[in-house]
Structure 1
């Protein structure tokens, strides 16, 4: 156990400060979540050196694509695009809460093309995804959808309408199949990789 702890500390000392500097919006447990050297070689170098999603201030997998990241607002324990094959299009804005997991291959699309002119996008309300949400692999979330707190969206689901809080929803089209028990993780015991800003203090306590 001491050996593992020491390795984690060395990893943070060698690579953690670089990750914190390069990704100002990366908030995760300081130890035991993702090794910093993996973030450095598998995420930071493709993003910053090879210019794959270079303007994004959190880790994005080199096989994922984020369009209009300037229209994304996100919380802590949330790094949209950190799994393989994710596509996020935020032309109309996407608001992510805290503690959100997005499975490989998921698609989140905030604006549709105008059917009379494919070069134009239709203006609409932003997508909103609340706290403690898990979006399964290959799920697709379409414009104007709002997902409430404490929701699981099943793998492969097509989400065309908003989902209420405390729900498990699956299918094409996605529908609620059962209620979900309250989320129970104690965030107050997490030691984060950097100081949490004031706007997230209430969530992490």
Structure 2
């Protein structure tokens, strides 16, 4: 995108986004780094997310009632049961993500990355009556977890800090110790990571 178009679009997003955010969201969700940090002053990516979300809610009736900016290509069920750090709003962008927090909570630790087409589900359908859900079981992701593309996190799972879930995995049980890579269906530990590992822009380093 040419720089002048980027500046014009960013300016419009900034002013329109500030107005829309007053009516759409809880204030705490627009205080994160995507509304604070920018290489070009007030041109911050978060305001673009607000504008995109507004048009999806207004014309497509998608994600109405979600108290934070979310891509119209994702879906959140029972958003009041989802807890995360405002600095990590990026996890609700992208596409194909499904957050279902029926009857329980989803808690996402600071610094987590969640790739496209990931499902996080607290309650399965009842095998006796598919119109109903089983009792919800809370899901907790520790800090600095990375959930790979096309993965599914099922009810009751707890992942410790620095857990990496390989692409396409189905996580059916907890790995509370963290510092590991899990993968497969059902997911199992395939590598233990150095506890002193660091996370830089979603790229993990460690032994």
How well do the aligned residues superpose, as a CA RMSD in angstroms?
Answer: 2.9
Find the counterpart in structure 2 of residue 119 from structure 1: 131
Find the counterpart in structure 2 of residue 31 from structure 1: 37
In 2, Cα distance between the equivalents of 1:168 and 1:10? 42
Find the counterpart in structure 2 of residue 83 from structure 1: 94
Q: CA, structure 1 residues 185+175, in 2 after alignment: closer, same or farther (shift >3 Å)?
A: closer
The TM-score with structure 1 as length reference comes to 0.75
Query: 1:33-55 CA distances to partner (integer Å, 9 max, x unpaired)?
Result: 96245314422321355431121
Find the counterpart in structure 2 of residue 200 from structure 1: none
Shift in Å, 1:15: 4.8
Shift in Å, 1:129: 1.1
In 2, Cα distance between the equivalents of 1:50 and 1:35? 22
Q: CA, structure 1 residues 183+120, in 2 after alignment: closer, same or farther (shift >3 Å)?
A: same
8 Å CA contact 2:49, 2:71 repeated in 1: no
Which stretches in structure 2 are left out of the alignment for 5+ residues?
A: 201-207
* 2:170 maps to which of 158, 161, 172: 158
* 2:189 maps to which of 173, 176, 181: 176
Which has the higher relative contact order, 1 or 2, with Cα contacts under 8 A spaced 6 or more apart? 1
Which stretches in structure 1 are left out of the alignment for 5+ residues?
A: 187-205
Query: 1:150-193 CA distances to partner (integer Å, 9 max, x unpaired)?
Result: 1111111110011231111111211111122435359xxxxxxx
8 Å CA contact 2:18, 2:47 repeated in 1: no
8 Å CA contact 1:127, 1:145 repeated in 2: yes
- Worse overlay, 81-90 or 24-33: 24-33
2:54 partner SS: helix
